[in-house]
Structure 1
Amino acid sequence: MSGGLALKITTASGIGYGGAVVTVMSMAGEQVGRLESDGDGIAKVDSLAPGTYTAVITAPGFEPQARVALVTAGGTARLGAIALVRSGAAPVPSAGDWQIDPVHSTLEISVKHLGISSVKGRFHDFSGTIHVADPVEVSKVDVEIKVASLDTDNKMRDGHLMSDGFFDVEAHPIAYYRSIAVAGPIDEVWTVRGRLELRGAEVPADLTMTYLGETPDPWGGTRIGFRASTELKRGDFGMTFNEKLISGVAQIGSTAHLDMEIQAVRADSVAAT
């Protein structure tokens, strides 16, 4: 009966790192498995014969790491979280102006529902620019979001969210995010300090951001990638819906989580969808 091996690859600050290469070697020095970690940093190899194996983890810009695992019949050897160690200074995007590509970006919001799970939705219509300065700490980010483009896969719920108890989209159809400063990195994580204007209220909103790298695209352009998140309080924007169950649990949580994966194209390169 075969077994398996599982691990999670993270940055030094504990954020899952996708795209790291995991190579599994037998005690005889033979490669028996090779795969990349997923977006959450998870890597799992199945169908391994019982025995001792070495997992070698590599990623551009980081020092290689190795872990030894004993795989038993029918079991999974769990190596836990392995934090990458950068081999040099944290990378920064090239200075210049970049245009957010919404076709290859996601902007997702999630809110607790009935205290037991989360309802998620995506904004489909947004645009923005990123000005990477030298030094990077004075870079600028400007984003415009058309609030009515929010889609939670339920038209009745979406209609309720557009009402004045929530986004009040008729009076305030567009939300704006404008950065003030960039700080970091601490480990792999940057902080973009900024303000979000929504429903006529302008509230501080700092993004926790990871830079994912720069690459040429197939259409002659150059792209950079980011992953970022923040938390927002509904009450800060005057959202009044606050109904509760008989038990006292709120139907909708007071805190919203905003998560984004952003691709941006250099403004002076060839943009394509």
Structure 2
Amino acid sequence: MANTKWTLDPLHSELGFKIKHLMITNVSGSIKNFNIEMDTKEEDFATAQVRLTADIASISTNNEQRDAHLRNGDFFDTDNHPQMEFRSTKVEDKGDENFTLVGELTLKGVSKPVRLDVEYSGVTKDPWGGERAGFTVTGKIKRSDWGISFNSVLETGGVALSDEVKINAEVQLVKHPAEVIA
């Protein structure tokens, strides 16, 4: 059986997040520099082994002052923990081109299990004869699980930032020639 390697097309992929601010609106952001590699048996995505690394210092919320605060010790502490990593441990086929991707997310030196919903958009040939696969990934994590608990109490009794962070990614992967396993 042949292994198939897939690598990220960074020009057609994005890794984003949303967090509730003042409990009335969401602030959106993204990680600009990240990489994903995936190995599958043939093109069976239910067999996927996924690895993501992300440069947390590349975080962007379109506000440099806020981004600098996110990089410091109140949040991600990028001087001591410059990368975020995700490694899959299992893929659950939910049918209808949908999967649950189970794995370990390491952030600030803490590894915790996460479950992400994956919608497979298909495989297509690109204009250069290559093959590409597309995926939409969504999920939710609690930032406090990774020791990110900075917050402010509001006069109205709420908090400035929710604990829940919504993850959203659009991922386009490029297929590499198959390698036959003996």
TM normalised by structure 2 equals: 0.91
Partner of 2:81: 172
Partner of 1:97: 5
Alpha carbon RMSD of aligned pairs, Å?
A: 1.7
Whether 1:237 and 2:134 are equivalent positions in the alignment is no
Amino acid at match of 2:28: K
Unaligned runs of 5+ in 2: none
- In the alignment of these two chains, the number of paired residues is 176
Distance in 2 (CA, whole Å) between partners of 1:248 and 1:132 is: 49
Whether 1:125 and 2:29 are equivalent positions in the alignment is no
2:66 alignment partner, SS class: helix
Whether 1:143 and 2:52 are equivalent positions in the alignment is yes
2:51 alignment partner, SS class: strand
Amino acid at match of 2:6: W
Partner of 1:248: 157
Distance in 2 (CA, whole Å) between partners of 1:137 and 1:225 is: 14
Report matched runs for 1:28-43 at 5 Å: none
1:163 to 64, 72, 76: 72
- Identity fraction in percent: 35
Greater Rg, structure 1 or structure 2? 1
Unaligned runs of 5+ in 1: 1-93
How many angstroms does 1:150 deviate by?
0.9
Distance in 1 (CA, whole Å) between partners of 2:141 and 2:106 is: 12
Q: Which has the higher strand share?
A: 2
Retained in 1: the 8 A contact 2:46–2:99? no
Amino acid at match of 1:112: K
Amino acid at match of 1:268: P
Report matched runs for 1:261-272 at 5 Å: 261-268=170-177
Instruction: Quickly say closer, same or farther: Cα 1:214–1:106, change in 2 above 3 A.
Output: same
Retained in 1: the 8 A contact 2:18–2:29? yes
How many angstroms does 1:149 deviate by?
0.7
2:155 alignment partner, SS class: coil
Instruction: Quickly say closer, same or farther: Cα 1:213–1:95, change in 2 above 3 A.
Output: farther
How many angstroms does 1:268 deviate by?
2.8
